[in-house]
Structures are given as C-alpha cells and as structure tokens.
Structure 1
C-alpha cells in the first residue's frame, strides 16, 4: 500500500510540473533597435550558489540558441557577494567593462503551498479468464493486497519567478515577465521549462530575433 501511494506521489510531481507566463510587460519607449542586444549579462538573484549557477547556466544555454553572447554573474561576482554588495557604480562598471549591453535578472518573488487530499482508488475487472476468478481463495488472495490504495496528502507548491531585462548603459527597465511553476519536483525539472517559457515570451514581445 505504501509503495502504491509513494508511486502515485512520485508520478504526481514528475508529470504535473508546468511553467507558464502569467504576465508580461514591455516598456513602450523601447524601440525596435532593442532587438540588437547581443551581449546579455545574466544574474540569478539567489544566495544558494548551486541554484544561482544552474539557473544562469540554463539561461545562457537557451540564449545561445538565439546567437546571444552571455556573461554570467557567477563568473564576475563572488558566490556570496550579496553579503557585501558592491556599490552601484562598481557593479555596473564591471558589467559594462565585460561588454554587456543588457542585463537579464531572475528572482523568486513568492512561494505558495497548498495541502490537499488525494482519495484512494479501487479497481474492478470481472473477467473470468483471469486466474484469480478460479475460486474464492484465489480471488481473495489476489485482491486483498491490491484492491484499495489508501488516500494520502500531498502539498502542491507554486513558485512565482520574475524576470527583468534592463539596458546596461541606462539601467532602464526594458521588459518584465512573471512565470508560475507548479510542483517542479526538482531544480533540473524546473530548468527544463523555465528558460524556454521566458525566451519564447521575449521573442513574442520583440526582444529577441
């Protein structure tokens, strides 16, 4: 029974992970020339070095399919630089000197959890050809352990990620979008969907060729 419940739980988290755009905004002052941003500095706003590294790597890989050169914050700022944040001037100077003309940031803005009950399930297959219909005991011995899987509680987790694109020279916000991810299960699973969702929206909004 426990195996059945755990299997259901694993499948739930493995199959229901979804990332989609819940809203996007484009600065009306942005001209078509904004499509010319070819050197993008990627910064994941996380104190977790592993998360920061993997998110930036995934975004960089996705941007490379659009022939964009990417620079990752993990390569330019110490893993725990947030604890001793550089001055605005020092940070921007480093980004500009690296050759970036745009900055793409991503940050977790909210996380929600909701616990719900998943009812157990019962099976029914009255087919005489099956061996367990040859007698009472055969029937009882077969169905007793598998007839009913007990219900269990699962906690759905929803993550809201905000992604912003800035002009590296003026610091002007060019574009912003929020994504919603339900039950990612793992960071790897999340990163299979998130970069594609964000870049597809950027292309739709005219920020990527």
Structure 2
C-alpha cells in the first residue's frame, strides 16, 4: 500500500509538470517583412503592470539573450532607459526618441491577461482491470465520492515586432503560459518559443 501511495504521488507530480507550459498559440508575418539583419539593433520592450516590474525585466532580458544567442544585436528597453523614463513621455515623444537612436526595430511584449483558472478534478484515478467485482466496486464507490477544484495561473501574451523607420508591423505572435513554476522559468520558455517561431517564419537568418 505504501508503495502504491508513492507511485500515485509520483504520477501526480508528473501530471503537474506536464500541465505547466508555455506555448505559441498563433503567429503572423507581414508578406513584405524583410529578414532581420544581424547588424540592426532590436529593442525589446515588455509592457506589464507596474507591480510586476521584476517580470518585465525577466521577459526583456531572456528575449534579448535568446536573440543575441542567434547573433542579433538586441537590447532591453528597461536596461537602456530605466523603469520610469518612457512613462513620462507621450507616444509621439517615445517614437521620436527611438527614431533618433540607432534602434532599427522594436519588439513589444504585452501581458494581455493574467488570472487564475478554476478546474474541476473528478475523484478518478488509474486502476487496473483485475476482475469484475474489484472494478465494479471501485467505480461504484467513486461515482458518489466528491471531486475537487484546482486553481492554476494563466498568462496570455502578445509580441509585436515593428520597423521604426516605416512604422510597419512586421510580425505578431500570441502565446500563453499555464501555471509556470516561477516567472523566471516562464520568461525563459517564452523567449525560446518566440525566437524559435521567428526563425520558423523566416524572420531570422539561418545560423
């Protein structure tokens, strides 16, 4: 019985790990979007609530790191301008400042939604087929046993890549993160998934 309990606990941990994920749900590339040049500068700018400033730093830094790993000249807006600088400017002033710099493209990462998701889990668990009566009695008793609710954190993200000179939207990607173990792990997986998708969309040069 003790061994069975350990097995069930292990299965539960594996199930929780499998449920934790970050994935791209959809993406789009403009038909006339050119492949990004490695000598161009890409500024990564995460837009999240002020209370989640640590998450902003993580999303920018890991996306910058992943782009640099591919050989691109990426920089973080937070590292370049600080947490408050652009918040004091109008949209026109922000655009003018960026256009007056040596930045060629801007990649925004916007937190569209963050919330807890409620899921009902019935009181069922794996069971072997060991004869009619054990099978029948197990299911009969569980049909009347109450299940329970679990609460998981879900994030929805949208990333957009703009060309500063023309103002054109070059690329857009939507993704979701479900019950990440930490925000840092979510940021790492986000960067990996999105940059991989950018390569798939042929925005990035082959290494």
* Matching of residues 169-188 of structure 1 within 5 Å: 169-188=165-184
CA offsets, 1:91-118, max 9 Å, x none? 2233234421100110111245123225
- TM-score, normalization: structure 2? 0.73
Larger of the two Rg values belongs to structure: 1
Tell me, yes or no, if structure 1 residue 106 matches structure 2 residue 133: no
- Matches of 2:10 and 2:114 in 1, distance apart? 25
What root-mean-square deviation, in Å, do the aligned CA atoms of Structure 1 and Structure 2 show? Answer: 3.0
**Structure-1 residue corresponding to 2:79:** 75
Deviation at 1:153, TM superposition (A): 2.9
**Where do 5+ consecutive residues of structure 1 fail to align?**
125-149
What is the rounded CA distance, in whole Å, between the counterparts of 2:177 and 2:66 in structure 1? 18
1:42 matched to 2:44? The reply is yes
- For the 8 Å contact 2:154–2:178, the answer to whether it is kept is yes
Matched, 1:160 2:156: yes
Matches within 5 A, 1:124-163: 152-163=148-159
SS at match of 1:59: helix
| Residues 19-58 of structure 1: pairs in structure 2 closer than 5 A | 19-30=22-33, 32=34, 34-36=35-37, 38-46=40-48, 47=50, 48-58=52-62
**How far 1:120 moved relative to its partner?**
6.5
Q: Deviations over 1:118-155 (max 9, x none)?
A: 5365889xxxxxxxxxxxxxxxxxxxxxxxxx965311
Aligned to 1:190: 186
Residues 108 and 159, structure 2, Cα contact 8 Å, conserved in 1 = yes
Return the alpha-carbon distance in structure 2 between the equivalents of residues 8 and 180 of structure 1. Answer: 25
Tell me the TM-score normalised to structure 1 length: 0.72
Equivalences for 1:88-99 in 2 at 5 Å?
88-99=91-102
Runs of 5+ consecutive residues of structure 2 not aligned to the other structure: 1-5, 129-145
Q: Which residue of 2 aligns with 1:117?
A: 121
Per-residue CA shift, 1:175-204, capped at 9, x if unaligned?
101012221132022123111110111111
Which piece of structure 1 moves more, 85-94 or 154-163? 85-94
Distance 1:118 1:79, change over 3 A: farther
